[in-house]
Amino acid sequence: MFQKLTKDRILKTFCYLALLQFVFIIATPSEAQRDENTVAGIWTFDDGTANDTSNQSHNGNLVGNPESVGSIAGKALKFNGVSDGIEIPDSPRINSSGPYHNRTIAAFFNCDDVTKSQKQVIFEEGGRTRGLVIYVFESKIYVGGWNRSEYTWNGEWLSDDVKSNTWYHVGLVIRNGIEGVENDKFEMWLDGKLIEKAPGGRLHSHGDDNGIGFVNQNAVYHDDGGGGDNIDYFGGLIDEVIVYGSAFNNADFAKLAQPLSVEPQDKFTTTWADLKTKRVQ
């Protein structure tokens, strides 16, 4: 009798655990959140230009003379930190329409000197009222977002430590933003990992000019600086800049950051080329 009861309990426990595992599997999202139907722009810089390689044709205009150089992901552009940048035209998918409930901006960067007391902007869109920005300042990488009209999101600026002459992959996300400030709507990602979440909301139309490698026209920093045109140039390499109207998840960022973990150096281009061939345009 005792043995039979014990066996019955073991069998029931096994069945219960198996059921829990099954429920966990089907309840766990397996699909990535990257939606190619929401792509706003992809600037790979592989041909030495600022042409958009997505299907949106949001080609950038080179400012100064950024140099085409080798990268961990094909080719990158090297910015001199003084006069080099890229002007990104206005478009409904980036800034001239909205409101934008979801947004992902991501890029590889390698800064010559992260210790500078001057901001070094990797990407910015919008202006003093509404916008997004990614920049390096005093050994930290920052991502910022704000919407100071409509529902008054005064802004959040998340940061993490970085080193000079080192490759990183940074990401900024607005996830399911609404017409109001809610917790955990604004995210910072670094090297494929979620660094921090902060309050945020959706982003309304933001008309000031957009830029890569500098502030084209106005931004807002953690210290409320950033007002001005053609300022805060980045010194170093920038590569694979992307803007989407969907909120990438862990699997998406892990895939984007893969070139950082591939060694030796001669394997980088091949591995990233393989990933590019799978990209849906």
**pLDDT of 2 higher than 70:** no
CA angle 154, 158, 163 (to 5 degrees): 145
Sign of the four-CA dihedral 195, 201, 205, 209: negative
Q: If pLDDT is split at 50, 70 and 90, which confidence band does 9 have?
A: low
Question: What are the phi and psi torsion angles at 110 (to 5°)?
Answer: -145, 100
- Copy the structure tokens of residue 142: 């920052």
What is the biggest distance separating any 2 CA atoms in the chain, rounded to whole angstroms? 87
**pLDDT of 174 higher than 50:** yes
**From CA 126, how far away is CA 183, in angstroms rounded?**
23
pLDDT in tens, 16-45: 444 444 333 333 333 458 999 999 999 999
Average pLDDT of every residue of the chain: 87
